[in-house]
Amino acid sequence: MTSTPYGIGLAGCGTVGTGVIRALQRNGELIRQRCGGSIEMSVKRILVRDRDKPRHETVDASLITTDWQTLVDDPTVHIVVELIGGTGLAFDIVARALSLRKPVVTGNKALLAERGAELFALSKQHNTPIHFEAAVAGGIPIIKTVQEAFIGNRIKAMCGIINGTSNYILQRMSEAKLDFATALREAQDLGYAESDPTLDVNGWDAAHKAILLATLAYGFPISPALVHVAGIEQVKPIDIDFAQQLGYVVKLLAVIRQHDDESIELRLQPSFVSKHHILASVNGVFNAVAVHGDGVGESLFYGRGAGEDPTASAVVADLVEAARSLAHKLPHRGFLPWGKEGRLLPIEETRTAYYVRFDVTDRPGVVAEIATVLAQHRIGISGTHSPVNPENPDAEFVDMVFLLHSCPFGLLQQALREIAALNCVNSEPVVFRIEQI
């Protein structure tokens, strides 16, 4: 069979872009054979910001341009790969490619989470697909699984660890008793965290991924402004120690859940997860996503969530799918966000059990004062704990932990505002959800 050559325009040649070039050079012939000899792909243009920046020897300097329109409009480019990040220039590149009916492959979760509604509308208008496996969980094929393998399922829930940097930091805080700043520096030294780790540690990298998964599964655009996001910057060793004593581990958890009224719960925050749950054993820079479909039941997907090779693997898989769509004039085989109306459950209406830590003045009646406010709001207490510091058993200020029964988050917030105003409470209460997953 004669191979049909497809040219690739690669916008971005950083770690992942270089990985894509190397993967195509390494396994191009294998891919061609696995496609029945019908598809052959090669990079025709490479967009970079700095032409003079040193690059891997596999990057052909003659293909480099700094003009994005030259790349997208090049008639030898049939598929555009967007790996530059951000939501400005990246949007222009993707929109232009779709208008020219050139399939797009992107790993840009922020772009799709914040401007996906516009781009999916263009995709539909021009009957040209956007492929985005690399946008969520690196080398784990979670997008393709939800789009294709679970196309006959109603997705009841998805829950997962989808940021490897935060997961590594929390593991090191737990195992080596490091504080957040020390664990972050270690992650940066090992290359697991960027020099600017803001989006990883404040939760928004994972939140963008969760928004994309929820939009895909439930079919309506979700505004990031409506999503509750909390990162790991405020996690203290004392909270991790308490979690271990109580039989939990702390994980940065994305929770997506459809309720009986079809409202969608979507939130991202550090949570207590039972040490017996399989997600508790996901360590290092690995990711895992648990999916509950009404037909398939529970499924778990686990693997490397970032890095050159895992993410490049996802991009190459999408490139093959894009080439097939051109070769056979087929629309996207899976489902995409289809524009239905939906309701995001306000965070105040979400319910879990809670761990709440108070910094209090150690005097008689403190527990009673706090418990009285909780009782007034009809919030049940399942336990209290205040460990004695052996180095300072007579300390004036101590940490008091309350474990609370499930209640609406908004109700808890009301109670905590009142408790924070008590004379015995010295700072804002610290709250972790105790997840039942």
Alpha carbon distances (Å) from 261 to 205, 220, 290, 340 = 29, 16, 22, 15
Told to judge if 209 belongs to the known catalytic residues of this protein, a careful annotator would answer yes
Instruction: For 271-313, give the DSSP string.
Output: EEEETTSGGGG--TTEEEEEEEETTTEEEEEEEE-SSHHHHHH
Could you say which DSSP state residue 36 is in? T
Q: How far apart are the two ends of the chain, measured CA to CA in Å?
A: 50
CA dist 173 and 180 (Å) reads 7
Three-state SS for 304-356 is ECCCHHHHHHHHHHHHHHHHHHHHCCCCCCCCCCCCCCCCECCHHHCEEEEEE
- Give me the phi and psi of 400, to 5 degrees please: -115, 125
Inter-residue contact 302 to 288 (CB < 8 Å): yes
Catalytic residue among 209, 236, 275, 329: 209
Give the DSSP H or E segment for 90. helix 89-99
Q: What angle do helix axes 89-99 and 109-125 make, rounded to 10 degrees?
A: 20
- Give me the phi and psi of 256, to 5 degrees please: -130, 125
Backbone φ/ψ region at 386: left (φ over 0), alpha (ψ -120 to 50), beta: beta
Non-local (6+) Cβ contacts of 161 within 8 A are 167, 251, 252, 253, 254, 279, 282, 286, 287, 288, 289, 305
For the chain, how many residues are written?
437
Burial (CB count <10 Å: 0-12, 13-18, 19+), residue 329 = exposed
* Rounded-to-10 torsion of CA 204, 210, 216, 219: -80
CA dist 290 and 302 (Å) reads 9
The per-type count for the chain, helices as H runs and strands as E runs, is: 13, 16
Locate 383 and state its tokens.
Answer: 């336990």
Give the catalytic positions in this structure.
209
